[in-house]
Structure 1
Amino acid sequence: MNKTQPSNQEDQEIDLIQIFRKIGSFFQSVNTFLFNCIQFFVKNAVVILILLLLGVGLGFYLDETKKIYNHQITVTPNFGSTDYLYSKIDLIESKIQEGDTIFIKDVLGLKKPKEILKIKIKPVTDVYKFIENKKENFELIKLMAEDGDIKKVLEENLTSKNYKFHTITFQTKHIISEKSAIEPILFFLNESEYYSKIQKETVNNIQLKMIQNDTIIAQINGVLSGFSGAAKGTKSNNLVYYNENTQLNDIIKTKESLINEQGFLRVDLVGLNSIVKENSSILNIENNTSTNGKLKFILPILFLLSFIFIYLFVKYYKSQLKKSKLI
């Protein structure tokens, strides 16, 4: 038993020595690696400096000359023209991707057809506006949400196309003006013989409705004036009777309802002067997503990494070539 204890102690001492040796070897390897890195950068300092300066300079140049600008138009498709609007935008996008400059210049009306890069449209998700004064829309969302995620239901194609507002976004290579791009695009979107007829009849119907409402309001005013005149020549107990008369209250409520309707119809007419009505537009937002505007930082790093890779590849190739000659 006494012989076993010294043997175990010796084994433990050997294990500790090996561990310390491995730790020392690891730090030595790290030290060697750091020294080699420093030596590499010192030895190739001129080349590395040139590559960094070249990368920064080229990056600045490309960032300034290859800028991309985003533009947004918020529109309202009237007269049930939502599907028509989306199909028109899809047509423009397909022509852009095909490089059909004749269509973009002559049909769409953009004087510089190669300037536009892409275009798309998506709805402005506004569920409150969607269900406002429309009980059937609220019931529809409730029904659809029973079988799935409410957020998914609100954003899916079937629901989203029924929202009032939609945003058209497109990209160009240079700064644009409303006259050079927005007006031609909106003119193209509003060029529809069918929806122009629908627009004409819809506006005409609203105007007729407003004339009829004004006539009814005038008649109600006449009736109320008659009640007022009659009330002045009667005793107080008759006046109480008139105030409590159900028919008179109904007439007053009808007048109030018609006045409110007239207000809504006047507001509606403001937005019905176009098939696709422009609500607002934001132009020339510099696109800084992906590598846009960041090449001044990316290119120097890319050049440096490429140089290191080539250096290591050449070094590896030479070492393997030397080994092959010794065999």
Structure 2
Amino acid sequence: MENYQHNRNQEIDMVKVSDRLKGYLSRVNDSFFDGILFLKRNIIVLVVLFIAGGALGYYFDKGKKTYEQKLIVIPNFKSVDYLYEAAELLTSKSQTRDEKFLQGIGIKDPDVFIEMEVEPIVEVYDFIESEKNHERNLQVFRIMAENASVEETLKDMATARNYSQHLVTITTRGKVSADEVVNPILAYLNADKYYGEIKQQWQKNLDIEIRANDSIITQIDAIINTFNKDARAAGENLVYYNTNTQFNELIKTKAELVEEQGRNMIKKVNYESVIKPSSVMLNVKKKSFVSGRMKFIVPLVFIMLFVFISSFIGYYKSQINKRKSIAGNE
């Protein structure tokens, strides 16, 4: 008896599932046929929207393209924060269409300038191998490595201050020359009075350091020459020294000073500007999902809007008729 009841319940469940499936397929079929009727009623309107959208999209595709001017710069004299804040300021001036300000810094046609963005060029190993802060930077990197989001930490502003190079991206409408946008912005960045004074002092300090190192190297050379002369006078054919002797320390000190002088000569070149450009790439075409696809996107948007509006009107009318029918029956 129990088995019979169990089988009976299963049969009833299968019938219910079958009925639901048939109802679902019937609704799908009705919806598909409604779509065919909708297409039949509005075929002319849809064709017109498709042609008009395609023409408008083609016009957008042929319009003035957006380009990027990319610069790799070195912010000297601890001016990293200044560079990022200046980029935000220039972008805001563009967004508020402050043409007077933009023309005042040398951009003759403010309409071509869209925005300016800055991001650090992550140089983890150069950061770690910094000659002055090697141990501190290594410890910082170890802490970052323990963090789950190392990539985000490396690009975080607090970390970005320690990178020597940063990528500046200036977005423009249409192609531009360096004199139109890039050079005026660089001139504006390097015209800050405070950092101009700091630059002069750093340059003076660097020159003093270079002269002092040259003097020490000259003195070390003189000591080494004297030692060699004394050795030759004593009849020695070979200068031999132990790693623990003061003479060897002089040799090591000279090697370190020569290496430091090489870095100082590079600094001397970089210290010519507060924001020193190391490379410039002009008119890199900015690509996005819609680039060159507007001729397809615009017609699709027009048709979707028409279908949505028509469906909404049909839904509204059906609900009104439903309420009128209910009110009439009452």
TM-score (ref. length: structure 2)? 0.81
Matched, 1:125 2:122: yes
**Contact 2:128/2:141, CA 8 A, preserved across alignment:** no
In 1: Cα distance, 2:201 partner to 2:282 partner: 34
Equivalence for 2:46: 48
Write the mapping of 1:137-286 to structure 2, written as runs, cut at 5 A: 137-138=136-137, 141=140, 145=144, 151=150, 153-236=153-236, 243-244=241-242, 246-286=245-285
**Contact 1:53/1:300, CA 8 A, preserved across alignment:** yes
In 2: Cα distance, 1:12 partner to 1:219 partner: 104
Deviation, 1:59, is: 1.1
In 2: Cα distance, 1:183 partner to 1:131 partner: 33
Task: Report Cα offsets for 1:9-50 as digits up to 9, x if no partner.
Answer: 888777766655554444333333323322332443332222
Question: Which piece of structure 1 moves more, 189-198 or 141-150?
Answer: 141-150
* Closer/same/farther in 2, CA of residues 158 and 33 from structure 1, 3 Å limit: closer
RMSD: 3.3
Deviation, 1:147, is: 9.3
* Closer/same/farther in 2, CA of residues 166 and 36 from structure 1, 3 Å limit: same
In 2: Cα distance, 1:139 partner to 1:12 partner: 70
In 2: Cα distance, 1:195 partner to 1:39 partner: 72
**Contact 1:130/1:137, CA 8 A, preserved across alignment:** no
Matched, 1:38 2:14: no
Give the letter aligned to residue 129 of structure 1. Answer: D
Residues matched between the structures, number? 321
In 2: Cα distance, 1:110 partner to 1:265 partner: 35
SS in 1 for 2:284: strand
Give the letter aligned to residue 258 of structure 2. Answer: I
Write the mapping of 1:59-138 to structure 2, written as runs, cut at 5 A: 59-65=57-63, 67-106=65-104, 108-132=105-129, 133=131, 134-135=133-134, 137-138=136-137
In 2: Cα distance, 1:193 partner to 1:20 partner: 82
Deviation, 1:105, is: 0.6
**Contact 1:71/1:171, CA 8 A, preserved across alignment:** yes
Give the letter aligned to residue 128 of structure 2. Answer: I
Deviation, 1:102, is: 0.2
**Contact 1:120/1:168, CA 8 A, preserved across alignment:** yes
**Contact 1:110/1:180, CA 8 A, preserved across alignment:** yes
Deviation, 1:103, is: 0.5
Q: Which runs of no fewer than 5 residues in structure 1 stay unpaired?
A: none
**Contact 1:55/1:299, CA 8 A, preserved across alignment:** yes
In 1: Cα distance, 2:140 partner to 2:210 partner: 33
Q: Which runs of no fewer than 5 residues in structure 2 stay unpaired?
A: none
In 2: Cα distance, 1:109 partner to 1:116 partner: 12
In 2: Cα distance, 1:22 partner to 1:131 partner: 67
**Contact 1:75/1:166, CA 8 A, preserved across alignment:** yes
TM-score (ref. length: structure 1)? 0.82
